[in-house]
Chains A and B, each alone.
Chain A
Amino acid sequence: MRTYVVPFFVALIACAALFLALDLGVMNLMGLTLFFNP
């Protein structure tokens, strides 16, 4: 259990951070914010 659940949640947090950074970076490159800013 520990060999699966712990790595899963650690990787989940890391991957979520990575994808969030990707979203932020790409939207920023296009002159936009991640969340809608009318």
Chain B
Amino acid sequence: MTSKQITRAGGFGAAHRHAGRRPPVWLLLAVFVFMLLPVDFAGLGAPVAFAQDASSSQGAEQVVHGPPPSLSAADYPQIAGINARVFVWLAAQLHLWFAAFVLAVPIFVFIIEAIGMKTRDERYDSMAYEFIKISITAYSLTAILGGLLAFSLIIFYPHVFGYLSGIFKETMFFYALLFFAESALLYIYYYGWYWLQGGFKKWVHLTLGLLLNAVGTTLMFLANSWVTFMMSPAGVDPAGVFAGDAWAAMHNFLWNPINLHRFVANIAYGGSIVGAYAAFKFLSATREQEKAHYDWMGYTANFIAISALLPLPFAGYYLAAEIYAYSQQMGITLMGGIFAWLFIIQAVLIGTLFLSANYYLWCGMGRSDGAHRYNKYVKYLAIVIIGAFLVWFTPHTLVLTNEELKALGGPYHKYLGPLGIMPAKNTAVNIMILFTALSFLIYRRANRIATVSWVSAGNAVQAALFTAGILNILFLGIYHGYFTNTVYKVAASIPQVLTTLIIIAVSISLDTVMYRGAKEVAPLRWGRVPDRAQYALFMLAVAFTWLMGLMGYIRSGIRQHWHVTDVFRDNSPDAFTPTLGYAANVVSVGTILFMAMVIFVFWLSQVSTRKSEAVGYWKA
């Protein structure tokens, strides 16, 4: 009997009785907590090391790290004819895709494991284990690509790397140390999954998961500070001289907006990738039981992706507003200049995400025998979502020939032009989000019959809530968007967002109360879902990847000819903004490379379960 079998056979109670004989767990925990403590104090708290540096000379005049060098094209090494920018671009992007995935998976694995502990339903535990199993191979690839990125930066951009590492030497050092903690925690969390089962040991395991997430998120925040420093430098004087306040450099203007946006986006992204894994397994499964399992896994992954996708546009809007607040010039380059056209592609991809996620939910209604009561509403949901999607990606100006311009009477279309400005987009995305939430509510109801006496009144209140809320969103979008000035236009987006959030929160709460103690129409038939629904999951993962690559390029590209905005000039031969087509091609090549690696990871997970009988090969 293996240890896994022993733990399972023993159950929670048996495992709990043995928990006291396992002191190494405590020892390991103590070691990790000990490792984490100095990191928190020195890396995130007061700049202890810098305070000591500063004491050696006098206050503000002291220069801890000099101004950035003034470079010429000759200062950027050329190796074997490789285009340094494209190489670093792809290395950074591939590293980020994998990093986003491996940081996100433990977050929802932790939540699913906790749900399993609360409900004592072992299926959750098995699913959480399968999720973390996928991220293990991806974790190695993340580290390899991180190494590739670091080396390529040192080789191709030695002065930039030198300048940044001079300012962020402490955070980079602690980043490296934290990586040990992250690796150790991840491996113990994964390999100790069946060892740390039952009772107290399960709590220890969950605590390890929490620590893993704390370390992972801290790692991301540290790396984010380097990136945002390049966009919105702080802690340096206008010449780029660093006086030693590491916290000021870290806590630069765009750090928290990026932290929030990446945290939410990573969860959505991680959900979409494991969704693709579940779809892959579903399509390759031959047994009904296996299909049912992977269908459930795919549904859960899609649920995670949607849950994080719904607040994501708000986090993105906050980030964009902060970019404008930091530098209006940067903001206009972002959304009014050359990059604005990439935002149209972004809009198409975001629309694809919403359509895929909704389509998957609608297909999933086939699992329920009670879904026929709601099928008739799906077409209306689809019409509204597609309508909002069309408004969402309508450009403000059009790419036209001279003849077309003449025929149109200018760059703006009479009817479509007004749909190209932000108030129309905000209104459209809020409605798209609301109808996605409505899709989810209908999906939840499909298999249940409410038994409370006030069902009819409850439905009426929900309908009224949606009606009043949508009218409010339209009022704010149309009146403030088209009949007031810019200050009102921007300000009105906040009550719009709040209206959406209130509708979602109130309607889900009301629905939960209404369907408490509800009857099931029939047991849900997991696995009874068309294959095309699985392709919607693939589309979700591909669209997410593409979107991240595209927006990552935009975020980095708006620095234009600066390594560090307004402080450190980029004088490399590549210090220009490439054409949109070129940039889109690089992002697409990156997406294909990433997808190939992800397929490799999925394939490995298949291979690891196979066994070949080598009859006659080994000595008897």
Contacts and interface: CB of A to CB of B under 8 A. Distances in A.
A18 to B, nearest CB: 8
Contact of A19 (B456, B472, B492): B472
Interface in A1-38: 3-12, 14-16, 18-20, 22-23, 26-27, 30, 32, 35-36, 38
Interface string B462-501: 0111011101100110011001110110011011001100
Contacts of A20: 472
Contacts of B476: 23
A4 B455 CA distance: 9
A35 B480 CA distance: 8
Contacts of A9: 464
B464 A11 contact: yes
Given A11-B461, A15-B465, A15-B469, A4 B456 contact: yes
Given A22-B498, A26-B498, A32-B488, A16 B468 contact: yes
B487 to A, nearest CB: 7
Contacts of B74: none
A8 B491 contact: no
Q: Give the residue among A3, A15, A16, A23 with the most B Cβ atoms within 10 A.
A: A15
A5 B302 CA distance: 36
B467 A32 contact: no
Interface magnitude class on chain B: 20 to 34
Nearest to A33: B488
A16 B499 CA distance: 11
A12 B498 contact: no
Given A3-B457, A26-B494, A36-B485, A19 B499 contact: yes
Contacts of A4: 456-457, 459-460
B400 interface: no
Interface in B265-315: none
A22 B464 contact: no
Nearest to B487: A32
B503 to A, nearest CB: 9
User: Taking chain A's interface residues, is the majority helix, strand, or loop, or is none over half, making it mixed?
Assistant: helix
Contacts of B468: 11-12, 15-16, 18-19
Contacts of B495: 19, 22-23, 26-27
A30 B484 CA distance: 15
A19 B480 CA distance: 15
Contacts of B471: 16
Contact of A38 (B460, B475, B479, B485): B485
Nearest to B458: A7
Nearest to B467: A12
A7 B453 CA distance: 14
Contacts of B472: 16, 19-20, 22-23
A5 B472 CA distance: 21
B46 interface: no
Interface string B348-368: 000000000000000000000
A4 to B, nearest CB: 5
B484 A36 contact: yes
A28 B490 CA distance: 14
Q: Which of A8, A19, A26, A35 has the most CB of B within 10 A?
A: A19
A22 B457 contact: no
Contacts of A18: 468, 502
A20 B495 CA distance: 10
Contact of A3 (B456, B475, B487, B498): B456
8 contacts: A10-B464, A12-B467, A15-B465, A15-B468, A16-B471, A23-B495, A26-B498, A32-B487
Interface of B: 456-457, 459-461, 463-465, 467-469, 471-472, 475-476, 479-480, 483-485, 487-488, 491-492, 494-495, 498-499, 502
Interface of A: 3-12, 14-16, 18-20, 22-23, 26-27, 30, 32, 35-36, 38
Given A5-B460, A23-B475, A32-B487, 6 more contacts: A15-B467, A16-B471, A19-B499, A23-B472, A30-B494, A38-B485
Q: Which 7 residue pairs spanning A and B have beta carbons closest together? A: A15-B468, A11-B464, A8-B460, A36-B484, A19-B472, A7-B460, A12-B464
